[in-house]
Amino acid sequence: MRARRRLARLYLFAGAIIAVIAAGAAFYAVFGGFHFGGGWVTVGPLADVQRQGVFYDRTVNAFVIADSGEMIAVLAENPHDGERVYYCPSSGWFQSPSEGSTFDHRGYYRLGPAPRGLDRVQVRTEHGFVSVDISQRAPGPARGLTDERPAQGPRCADVPGDPATGRISVVPAGG
């Protein structure tokens, strides 16, 4: 009788271990693993990123630009002072509201005191999800380099954008 109880406990223990391993494997498959301060972080499904064109993830404070050519990811941080940078949908450019730096659609420097373009981070697609690795940041492109694309419309007002979406929606009067 004792042997049966021990065997039943052993089976229960083994089943619990298998369940934990299966749950961890499922979590890894769906969300790209566990992230404790670095490495690859899943920011969203590829279809959502492509649909938005410029996708912002506030957990990593980065934009993924996926609306033309090669997908790139830039940090939403001004290289001049670390201030948050927001995306202006009317111009298609990025702006630093309080100090005036402006970056074009691919994060190249255009105006203001910033020393260079927006810093780049690695981006990849895997199993239909887009992930970024902010621990491997590269300095943005030097001043003078550009994607040659003009702004697609008026500049947004110099006001902080929405921290959840990373966008500024206010266009100045007459713009």
The per-residue pLDDT for range 19-49, each reduced to its tens digit, is 888 777 666 666 555 545 568 888 889 988 8
Q: Tens digit of pLDDT for each residue in 82-124?
A: 888 999 998 889 998 888 889 998 999 998 899 999 999 999 9
Backbone phi, then psi, for 120, in 5-degree steps? Answer: -95, 150
Residues 62, 104: one domain?
Answer: yes
Q: How many C-beta neighbours within 10 Å does residue 52 have?
A: 17
89 and 62 fall within a common domain:
yes
Instruction: Output the pLDDT for position 123.
Output: 92
User: Is there a single domain that holds both residue 17 and residue 42?
Assistant: no
Is 25 in the same domain as 43? no
What whole-number distance in Å separates Cα of residue 99 and Cα of residue 114? 9
Indicate if the pLDDT at residue 172 is higher than 80: no
Q: Which domain holds residue 27?
A: 1-31
| Average pLDDT of the segment spanning 147-169 | 84
Residue 119 corresponds to which tokens in the numbers above?
């810093």
Mean pLDDT of the chain, nearest integer:
84
pLDDT at site 28: 64
Structural domains counted in the chain: 2
* Rounded CA separation 128/136 (Å): 22
Q: Across residues 152-164, what is the average pLDDT?
A: 84
CATH code of residue 157: 2.102.10.10
26, 42: one domain: no
Q: Where are the alpha helices (DSSP H) in the chain?
A: 2-31, 46-52
One domain for residues 159 and 76: yes
Indicate if 17 and 45 belong to the same structural domain: no
Confidence of residue 64 (pLDDT cuts 50, 70, 90): very high
The answer to whether the predicted template modeling score (pTM) of the entire model surpasses 0.75 is no
**Six-digit token string for 142:** 């030097």
8 A C-beta contact, residue 129 and residue 44: yes
User: Do 26 and 44 belong together in one domain?
Assistant: no
Percent of the chain with pLDDT over 70: 90
Residues 3 and 22 in one domain: yes
Distance CA 52, CA 122 (A): 19
Q: What pLDDT, on the 0 to 100 scale, is given for residue 170? A: 76
Residues 16 and 51 in one domain: no
